[in-house]
Chain A
Amino acid sequence: MFDYDVIVVGCGPTGLMATSELKAREVNVLGIDMKTRLDKNFRSASGFFFDDQEFNGECIRLEPKGDKTRIHYEKCGFSLDYPAPMEAIHNSYMVSNSGKNYQITSRNKPLYHIFNPTTWLSARYHNAKELGASFLTRTLVIKTKEIPGGVEVIFRKDGRKGKLTCKKLIASDGLQSRITRELGFNRNRGVIGIGPTIEYEMVGVECPLPRGDLFIFGEKNLGQKTGQIFMVPSPRGKDAYRIETATTPPAIKNYQVIEYFTKESSLAWWFKKASVVEKSGAVVELFTPIKVPHRGNIILVGDTAAFGEVLYQGATMCGYMAAVAVEKELRGHKGFDEYTQWWNSTFEWNIDPKKMSEYSKRFLFTRYMGADTMDYLFDIAAKQPLIADDARANVYDFAKTVIDHLLSFPEVRPDVAKKLRFMREADIGLMVAELAKEAQALKK
């Protein structure tokens, strides 16, 4: 006999959603996670939702309800409560090496709404607990094995090995999923790169720009030529921001960059009166997505099978849809095949692989153009900021939208326009090759 009907490995936003949804459907489910507690966010993550905008195959509607927000997933067909209001953000900036900025603004509809990941996780965890779900924390799943009719899960807890069995297994243990790796799914995936990140949540930040997110680059700001800083408004207060870096390994470079940015850079005066309220880190590993995210009795959901992060929106959707799929499988229907169909027709990078390059361009765009060119372009664009009401400015379309806007100015020099056009059309392989050439030329 099996210990559980379903075991959910990894209880982040995806796993918690799947666990509570399965428990609500009266399935005997256990959640396993390596963390010590599940109602707190330990990993770098900025929570945001696009309201009433088509994104990753879903159109979310946010409904403010006093001190709560009701989130309606129109296409997946479910709703959730978030126990706090969500602040609307209307601006997005890029800040160059010399401190010049480029603004994207929306007038009619906010760009996105922000929320606190810890509050979100806490709400989902307590919801699952109220339904009677059980969890095993401080437990690291090191291997899964197919057994007749089910799955055996081998784990380590308090330094000792143990095992549990279940009929179906949901793997939602994130980007660097051990289960995905152990089962050999990663062998056929393209590897795009690994990027450790660090995040400081700070209050008392004196940012002179109207509230919005900032993408900051340049040697004067970071203390090194490559890399970038994201400053995203935090729901802790009007002067609160989450400051995040991402560099290539060794990961310690992140710490050096963020310390330099907040203490020594030309923008350090923003943080003179600021204090850090929370620090977190993460290692982001980018692979191409898994097209068939299930094998036998195991289904890989959320970040586990995705390109990059599916974000909180995608994680919740995946958790819900996985729970539906697993329940169908337990009743003898082909739930996993339905999930696969949904997976491949929902996420933008599954529908159009080019979106993977579009996403990466956001990080490579400024580096490829060079610091002086970006200053020159920001000067031109300052006359007429980009209005994002009609343009798509989400994570996958950001670079393309900005390039189109910059190209709309007739005074842009032909050589710069050529570079911009190259960037707009290039796929990721071409871009990396160009950057490598540049780096070699610099060395010489």
Chain B
Amino acid sequence: MPLITINGKKIKASENVTILEVARGNAIFIPTLCHNDGLTPYGGCRLCVVEVVKNGKTTVEASCTYPIEEGLTIKTNTARIRKARQVIIGLLLNRGPKPLVIQDLASEYGVTGPLTRFSVENEHCIRCGLCVQACREIVQARAICFAGMGFERKVTTPFNESSLDCIGCGTCELICPTKYIDMKDLPEAQEVTPSDHQIIGPVRNFDTWNTEFKVRVCNECGNPFYSAQPLKKFQESQNLQSGFFDVCPSCRIPPHVDEDLCLGCGGCVVNCPIGAILMKEKGEEQKPTIYRENCTGCHYCVDMCVVGAITIENRE
């Protein structure tokens, strides 16, 4: 285990981790815009710069990509580092002063405005690449990518056209730190977008990606809850019963346990992906209870019950 020093504190770090991971594990805050624990470090925003002293030499490095080595001394909040971050935040303000996350950073680091020698672009996208990475690594759809080089670099769908690979999951919208990606769920309304494109609901529309999807509407509450296309794909691949996605997760009733049939073997308790089923005593035997507040309605327990004691109740 490499022994390192961060801000004067001696820390035993694990093998094969980065400075950022060790710092966060020890409650030392380093700001970053392009890092997500679930994704490969990319080093795009450079906000996470720190001073690294190695063999007597001090360098400024991006902590999210710098691997831990024995004997490193790291300083995360020196005057030099604060100055470097102020310049980066200034440049981000030049790119676009509107995103809240940039404004918060500016006020924290005392940056009053964009750098005067560059013009202000009013862009929301800071080209951190989180959406591209999430689409590739988490969703594995590869529906969006970087295009162009240098100042022209931007995130888009291939050839700026509606991507056939997009499944409309909305992960890009969720992960975007500046809320640049415009995702709208339109229940029934008709809407005309600035590009004169007419949308007739219920659809999920990504104006940023020139893409829209028909949305499944919950039979119970009437709210749109997911793009129909991935649901259909998922229903087929997981062999779910027909009508599984007729209701949204919040309206889904937890399955019902027939205690007379149930053997009390605990298969459902063990198999429930999120641990929503607990055992309760019933005389000499034990029977499962499904806690509604935790149940996601995935119905895996229904598939895994060996006697068919767990069933989906009819909605009357």
* A35-B266, A43-B266 known; A198-B275 Cβ under 8 A: no
Whether B267 contacts A282 by the Cβ 8 Å rule is: yes
Contacts of B304 in A (CB 8 A): 196, 249-251, 283
Contacts of A254 in B (CB 8 A): 306
Q: Is B303 an interface residue (CB 8 A)?
A: yes
From A156, A198, A250, A255, contact of B278 by CB (8 A) = A156
Interface residues on A, range: 20 to 34
Interface residues on B, range: 20 to 34
Q: Is A37 an interface residue (CB 8 A)?
A: yes
From A36, A140, A173, A280, contact of B265 by CB (8 A) = A280
Q: Is B280 an interface residue (CB 8 A)?
A: yes
From B265, B270, B281, B307, contact of A138 by CB (8 A) = B281
From B264, B267, B274, B284, contact of A251 by CB (8 A) = B267
Contacts of B307 in A (CB 8 A): 198, 252, 255, 279, 281
Q: Is A367 an interface residue (CB 8 A)?
A: no
Q: How far, in angstroms, from A37 to B275 measured CA to CA in the complex?
A: 19
Contacts of B280 in A (CB 8 A): 36, 138
Q: How far, in angstroms, from A138 to B281 measured CA to CA in the complex?
A: 8
Q: Is A428 an interface residue (CB 8 A)?
A: no
A332–chain B nearest beta-carbon distance, Å: 16
Contacts of A280 in B (CB 8 A): 263, 265
CB neighbors of A among B209-239 (8 A): none
Q: Which residue of A lies closest to B275 (CB)?
A: A142
Q: Is A59 an interface residue (CB 8 A)?
A: no
Q: Is B291 an interface residue (CB 8 A)?
A: yes
- Mask: chain B, 269-290; 1 = CB below 8 Å from A; 0 = not: 1110011011111001010010
Q: How far, in angstroms, from A279 to B260 measured CA to CA in the complex?
A: 12
Whether A158 contacts B265 by the Cβ 8 Å rule is: no
B273–chain A nearest beta-carbon distance, Å: 9
Contacts of B286 in A (CB 8 A): 35-37, 42
Whether B267 contacts A283 by the Cβ 8 Å rule is: yes
Q: Is B31 an interface residue (CB 8 A)?
A: no
Q: Is B199 an interface residue (CB 8 A)?
A: no
Q: Which residue of A lies closest to B308 (CB)?
A: A252
Contacts of B281 in A (CB 8 A): 36-37, 138
CB neighbors of A among B231-255 (8 A): none
Whether A42 contacts B278 by the Cβ 8 Å rule is: no
Q: Is A210 an interface residue (CB 8 A)?
A: no
Q: Is A293 an interface residue (CB 8 A)?
A: no
CB neighbors of A among B164-210 (8 A): none
Q: How far, in angstroms, from A196 to B309 measured CA to CA in the complex?
A: 14
Q: Is A174 an interface residue (CB 8 A)?
A: yes
Whether B306 contacts A255 by the Cβ 8 Å rule is: yes
Whether A281 contacts B278 by the Cβ 8 Å rule is: no
* A138-B280, A249-B303, A249-B304 known; A34-B267 Cβ under 8 A: no
- Mask: chain A, 43-84; 1 = CB below 8 Å from B; 0 = not: 110000000000000000000000000000000000000000
- Mask: chain B, 120-134; 1 = CB below 8 Å from A; 0 = not: 000000000000000
Whether A176 contacts B271 by the Cβ 8 Å rule is: yes
Whether A252 contacts B270 by the Cβ 8 Å rule is: no
Contacts of A34 in B (CB 8 A): 266, 269-270, 278-279
- Mask: chain A, 123-153; 1 = CB below 8 Å from B; 0 = not: 0000000000000001010100000000000
Q: Which residue of A lies closest to B264 (CB)?
A: A42
Q: Name 8 A/B residue pairs within 8 A (Cβ), A-sorted.
A: A34-B266, A34-B270, A138-B281, A156-B278, A173-B270, A178-B270, A178-B275, A281-B306
